[in-house]
Structure formats: C-alpha cells, structure tokens
Amino acid sequence: MNLEMMYLGNSLKDWLVFLSIFAAAIIVLKIVKSVVIVKLKSLSEKTANQIDDMVIAGINSIHWPFFVFVSFYFSLEFLRVPAWISNWSYYIFLIAVSYYAIKILENIIEFAGAKMVEKRQDNGQSAGIVKLMEIFLKIALWLSAVVLVLSNMGYNVTSLIAGLGIGGIAVALALQSILGDLFSSLTIYFDKPFKDGDFIIVGSDMGVVKKIGIKTTRIQTLQGQELVISNSELTSSRVNNYGKMSERRIPFEFGVIYDTPAEKLKKIPGMMKKIIESQEKVRFDRAHFRGFSDSSLDFEVVYYLDTGDYNVFMDTQQAINLAMVERFKEEKIEFAFPTQTIHIEK
C-alpha cells in the first residue's frame, strides 16, 4: 500500500492519521466521561449535599454528537482542507460546545430552583415563581449563546443587540401592566410580606390569603367570597399582616355603678389580675381605675396573648368576660349601664 498516494489533496498517510486521531479522541472523551462520573458517584455517596448529583446530571447530558464534533474539529488540524471547511468545522464545534454548556447551566438552574422551592416550603407559590425565573434565565442563556456564535461567525451583532433592545422596550411597553404584576410577584416571593394562610387587611378589604399567583393574589374574605387583587396593587399598598403577629396586645374597658363602695373598687384590679392569669397563653399587664364617666366608674385592663390567632383571642376574651360576670356577682359589684338621674325640686 502506497501511503503517499494523494486523495482530495492529502496523502493516504494523512487520512489514516486523521481517522486514528478522530477515533482515539472519541474513545478518550467517552472514557474520561465514564471515569469522571464513576468518581463523582463514589464521592456523592460520602457527602450529604446534592451538588455532586447536579454535576453528574450535567455531565450525563453530554451525548455522542458532542464527542463527534469535538473530535472532528481537533483531528481536522492534521489535514489540508479548504478554508471554508475549516471555518465551518470551527462553527460547528462552537455551536456544539455552546449547546452542551447551556444544557449543563440549565441543569444547574433547575437544581437551584428545586432547592429554593424546597427551602421555602410553600410549593404552591414557589413552584410558579421559580418556574418563571427559570424560563427567563434560560431565554437569556440561549440569546447570549446565539449572539456569541453569530459574533464568532463574523456577523455584526451590534445591530442585532440594538434590535433586541428596541424590541424588548416595545414589548415591555405593550405588556406594561402584565410585566408589572410579574415583577410584583417576584417582590412578594423574595420579600415575603405575607404567605398563604395569613390574615391581611388591604385598604378596606380583609381576609385570609389563599393563593399567591404569578399575576394575582386570591383572598378569602370574612363574608366568604374570593377577592382577586393584582400583585402590583398589593406591593404598592399598605398591608396589615396579622399572620406575622407573635403576640397580641388586648386592652379593654368596663364600668361599674357609682354606688360601688371604695373598698370594692380597690379589689377590682387584683380580681382582674387573677382572672386573666388563670387563662392559658396570656400575660397580664395592668388593671387600673381609669376615671369617671357620666354613668359609670371606668376601669381599663391590658393583657397580652402569645398568638395572633383571632379565634384564640375571642375564646380567651369570652372566658375572661364570663369569669368577670361570675366573680363580680359573688362580690355584689354591678356593671354600669347608661343611666340618667333627674332631680326635681319642689
């Protein structure tokens, strides 16, 4: 066999070298991939984190086309080929590397998104918001890859980038209200002013948050109907969130009649302290003879409840009121009610 015979501008020897390097490169790349995966799997069994699992998933996303294109590009250096073949070999190599690099980055984005959802422990809201962020990031990756490839292929990407910017502005203006709600949902997600199950008051509306969506938030009002509010309205309004209350301060007043003896008036603060301290989850603050009204001697009592739950508050206040009625009856202390005394002179 004459190794110096020429075929398509290259000797038979050059073609054999090309094929040998091409085949060897494919084999080496596949071996490297297998060895790396085996090592990483062995390491992942010794570690509690999932980062190595993410890396393994990223490497596993690299398939045979990548090995072929990379091997072909490097082995082609040993042949004399026209410039256009060499250029297109580089372009294909660049596209292959960019494609699989993006696939690995997509795996990282999806892994990070899953960890965010798991950390938040509010999958209903998190899944939608995180999915939206993943889509934006993936679109940005692909657009960046397209611009990079076109730039390396010799195209002037300045006008393309300018066109994308102008197009983006036009789309943003056309979808201003929708994008405002989308970004507001991201603000709610990261800032967490409220979450599902919180009782909130927005303006004159109040209710329990049922679902925080990408565009709107749904609230179950006290009357029973569902109130749908845009996220942009929520982020631009003052929101009272009772779900964030770690404890509730409760002041209340009552009055007794003017005929109550001073000795019994002195006993009332101590009686109220015992009544309140007998309840669960409460902390007594004070009880005072506050002043004189037209038809009553007024007392003010303050206590703290170590939960923001409104039903627990009402149950506790009811128990205190019933205990007051029983205890005041025992002491023969009468609650005041609006009265008017008329003195007639003869």
Q: Annotate 25-40 with b (16+ C-beta within 10 A) or e (fewer).
A: bbeebeeebeeeeeee
Q: Per residue in 50-93, pLDDT tens?
A: 666 666 766 777 777 778 888 887 787 777 777 777 777 888 88
Q: Per residue in 248-307, pLDDT tens?
A: 899 999 999 999 999 999 999 999 999 999 999 999 999 999 999 988 999 999 999 988
**Looking at the structure, do residues 199 and 267 belong to the same domain, yes or no?**
no
Is residue 337 domain-resident?
no
Is residue 305 domain-resident?
yes
**Looking at the structure, do residues 222 and 260 belong to the same domain, yes or no?**
no
**Looking at the structure, do residues 194 and 147 belong to the same domain, yes or no?**
no
Please state the domain count of the chain. 3
Q: What does the angle CA 138 – CA 142 – CA 144 come to, to the nearest 5 degrees?
A: 115
- Give the C-alpha separation, 248 to 268, whole Å: 23
Residue 333 has a pLDDT of 94
Residue 157 has a pLDDT of 64
Residue 135 has a pLDDT of 79
Largest CA distance in the chain: 149
**Looking at the structure, do residues 48 and 104 belong to the same domain, yes or no?**
yes
Q: What CATH number does residue 209 fall under?
A: 2.30.30.60
Residue 7 has a pLDDT of 61
CA distances from 90 to 18, 64, 87, 262, 314 (A): 16, 18, 5, 101, 75
Instruction: Give me the mean pLDDT over the 221-243 stretch.
Output: 84
- Domain range for 34 is 6-153
Q: Which residue has the tokens 């001697």?
A: 297
Instruction: Evaluate if residue 175 carries a pLDDT over 60.
Output: no
Q: Per residue in 94-133, pLDDT tens?
A: 888 888 888 888 877 877 777 766 766 555 556 666 777 7
Look over the chain and give the mean of its residue pLDDT values, rounded to a whole number: 79
- Give the C-alpha separation, 175 to 162, whole Å: 20
